[in-house]
Chains A and B, each alone.
Chain A
Amino acid sequence: MKVARVMSATAILCGLLLSAMPSSGHHSFAAEFDGKNCKDFTGTLTKLDWQSPHAYFYMDIKDAAGKVENWSFQTYALITLRRNGTDRQLFIENMGKEVWVRACLAKNGKERYAAAGTLKFADGILRQVGQLQD
Chain B
Amino acid sequence: MSALVELTNVSKRYADAPALHSTNLSIEQGQTTVLIGPSGCGKSTLLRLIIRLVEPDSGTINFDGVPITPDNIEKLRRRIGYVIQEGGLFPHLTARANVLLMARHLRKANKEIESRLTELCVLTRFPQDALARYPVELSGGQRQRVSLMRALMLSPELLLLDEPLGALDPLVRASLQKDLKEIFTRLQQTALLVTHDLAEAAYLGNKIVLMNEGRIVQRGSIADLREKPANDFVSEFINAQRTLALT
Are A and B co-members of a single complex? no
